[in-house]
Amino acid sequence: MKGKTMKVKVRLGMAIGIVCGVGGVEVRADEANVIDSVRERLSQIENGEKKKTSRAPASVAEDDAPAGTAAEKPKKKKKHHATRAPASAGDWKRAEPPSRPSATRPSQEVAPVPESPEEEESRLTKNWGGPRKTLSEKGIDLGLTYKAEFTRVYSGGVERKSNTLGNVDLKASIDAEKLVGWSGGSLFFYVLNDHGGHPSQASGDSQGTSNLETVGFGTKLYEAWVQQIAFDAKASFLFGLHDLNSEFYVTDTSGLFFNASFGIGKELSQTGENGPSIFPNTALALRIRTEPSQHFYMQVGAFGAKAGDKTNPRGTHVNSSLGDGLLMITEAAYTNGKGAEGGTPAKYAVGVWNYTEVYDHQTTTYADTNGNDVPAKAASHGAYFLADQGLSEQWSAFLRYGVASTEVNRFASCLGFGVVSTGLIPGRAKDRWGLAVARAVNGDVYQSTASDGAARWETTYEMNYRAEVLRGIALQPDVQYIVNPGADTLPNAWVGAFRVELNF
């Protein structure tokens, strides 16, 4: 370009010499205009050359770049999903496919079923060629997941035995604002089918070897609720059949593992006439939740104390009577989703619960008016602490500890902790590997009635690997070593499992 500029200058000088002549001949007006035009063009060429060769330093922001220069474009930042982001009422966020039989939600604004199309498609059937997206735009999102599991007790426990399990989750979430203009309204329906054997009976594990295992297999309406988000998305009100463990007592990191105590502690899952409102039986509930800031929430739930029908575990059984009392639970938490302010994801929560009715004491009795011994009554209550902390981009860890009253409940406490790594193997960015421990401890009242030589506690060590082999297909091998199965006199047990998950 410099050579071109020199040629222009030489030609300009020749033109001036010809027009002016020799000996100071005056320049005519039209000839002067030509000269000015040529000079202006030369200036444009020189300035253009400077613009092309000038670049602001990488550290200079585009707004601060000097005039006539172009700032280097900033690198695109990776997207991070915060636990809760400000949004208008009813503006549900996308939810990741659940890794266990519950529609776990980190926030009241997260829909239990992902919208279509997904930002990063993770389903076998994708968008159904268009209809799924059309339904989603109208506020209706559907999800179907099937899990098949093979489990075998290789040594110890009650007996060496193999079991197969299956679980079908059919979910539908409805954004009522999109569908009918109901601001902040949403509905959720969840149909559950379970079938197969009972691996915990073979291993003798009191905490539950598999979180797919149930007492009564079959199909049932598992959840059906309506929610209203209000007060500028700072609070929500939910009513209907509801899984307590989809919002209470949740640590995301522990969701990788199969043992049931990593979903909800044994000290709480043991309670009530037929267990609390958790998998596989739910009860009517009223839940109020407030999220005054991005980093804090408090929620209160009143759940029917009798979930399902103990005498008939198959099918859907809704108890609308308040005669059996309520399970009251409150949880408050600090959360830090990986948002614009940076940092690693974290959740620290405390919860307390109690039943409004009293239950039979395990040992104490008294004589009634007819002289018969009848059990005394005692309250059932407890508390728990949760910590779920991201350690780095790859590692996260969790700690869970809960206690329960021991007059009516066998287990006094349950402790769980572990670590999970994502992308541990190069080239397998979505795969997860984890190692965790869960321990349930008998209470003093129960232990006083236990057989001679019975252990005081049961501990399960679990290692799990989840491989996303194809879009919508995950494989999960799992190994558990159970020390003192059933907190009794059974020999320690080795259990192996393999799960296939298909997300449609």
Confidence of residue 246 (pLDDT cuts 50, 70, 90): very high
- What integer pLDDT is reported at residue 128 of this predicted model? 80
Residue 387 has pLDDT above 60, yes or no: yes
Residue 271 has pLDDT above 80, yes or no: yes
- What integer pLDDT is reported at residue 339 of this predicted model? 46
- pLDDT mean over 209-237: 92
- What integer pLDDT is reported at residue 39 of this predicted model? 57
Helix 2-20 vs helix 29-53: angle between axes, to the nearest 10 degrees? Answer: 170
Confidence of residue 69 (pLDDT cuts 50, 70, 90): very low
The count of residues in the chain is: 504
- What integer pLDDT is reported at residue 104 of this predicted model? 55
**Residue 42: CB atoms within 10 Å:** 15
- What integer pLDDT is reported at residue 367 of this predicted model? 85
- What integer pLDDT is reported at residue 4 of this predicted model? 44
- What integer pLDDT is reported at residue 105 of this predicted model? 58
The helix (run of H) or strand (run of E) holding residue 6 is helix 2-20
**Residue 344: CB atoms within 10 Å:** 14
**Residue 86: CB atoms within 10 Å:** 12
pTM for the whole structure: 0.77
Q: What's the one-letter identity of residue 171?
A: K
- What integer pLDDT is reported at residue 457 of this predicted model? 95
Domain range summary for the chain, segments of one domain joined by +: 2-57, 131-503
- What integer pLDDT is reported at residue 369 of this predicted model? 83
- What integer pLDDT is reported at residue 32 of this predicted model? 46
- What integer pLDDT is reported at residue 93 of this predicted model? 36
- What integer pLDDT is reported at residue 417 of this predicted model? 98
Of the candidate ranges 56-70, 101-115, 374-388, 412-426, the one whose mean pLDDT is the lowest: 56-70
- What integer pLDDT is reported at residue 344 of this predicted model? 80
- pLDDT tens string 28-66: 444 445 445 545 555 554 554 444 433 333 333 333 333
C-alpha span between 129 and 125 (Å, rounded): 9
- What integer pLDDT is reported at residue 239 of this predicted model? 97
Of the candidate ranges 103-112, 178-187, 310-319, the one whose mean pLDDT is the lowest: 103-112
Higher pLDDT, 321 or 502: 502
Confidence of residue 266 (pLDDT cuts 50, 70, 90): very high
Confidence of residue 100 (pLDDT cuts 50, 70, 90): very low
- What integer pLDDT is reported at residue 117 of this predicted model? 74
Residue 449 is classified by DSSP as: T
- What integer pLDDT is reported at residue 200 of this predicted model? 95
Residue 22 has pLDDT above 70, yes or no: no
* DSSP annotation string for 45-79: HHHHHHHHH----TTS-GGGSPTT--PPPPPPPPP
**Which contacts qualify for 431-435: CB closer than 8 Å, 24 or more apart?**
431/465, 431/466, 431/467, 431/468, 432/256, 432/464, 432/465, 432/466, 433/463, 433/464, 433/465, 433/466, 434/253, 434/256, 434/257, 434/462, 434/463, 434/464, 434/465, 435/461, 435/462, 435/463
Confidence of residue 334 (pLDDT cuts 50, 70, 90): very high
Q: 461, 374, 362: which is closest to 412 by C-alpha? A: 362
C-alpha span between 497 and 250 (Å, rounded): 23
- What integer pLDDT is reported at residue 12 of this predicted model? 38
Residue 8 has pLDDT above 50, yes or no: no
Residue 209 tokens, joined: 């070897």
Q: 147, 255, 224, 149: which is closest to 193 by C-alpha? A: 147
Residue 403 tokens, joined: 């206690």
Confidence of residue 319 (pLDDT cuts 50, 70, 90): confident
CA dihedral 175, 178, 184, 190 (to 10 degrees): -10
Residue 270 has pLDDT above 50, yes or no: yes
| Phi and psi angles of residue 188, each rounded to the nearest 5 degrees, phi first | -145, 135
- pLDDT mean over 266-270: 96
| Average pLDDT across the chain, whole number | 81
Fold of 131-503: Porin (2.40.160)
C-alpha span between 388 and 397 (Å, rounded): 6
Confidence of residue 453 (pLDDT cuts 50, 70, 90): confident
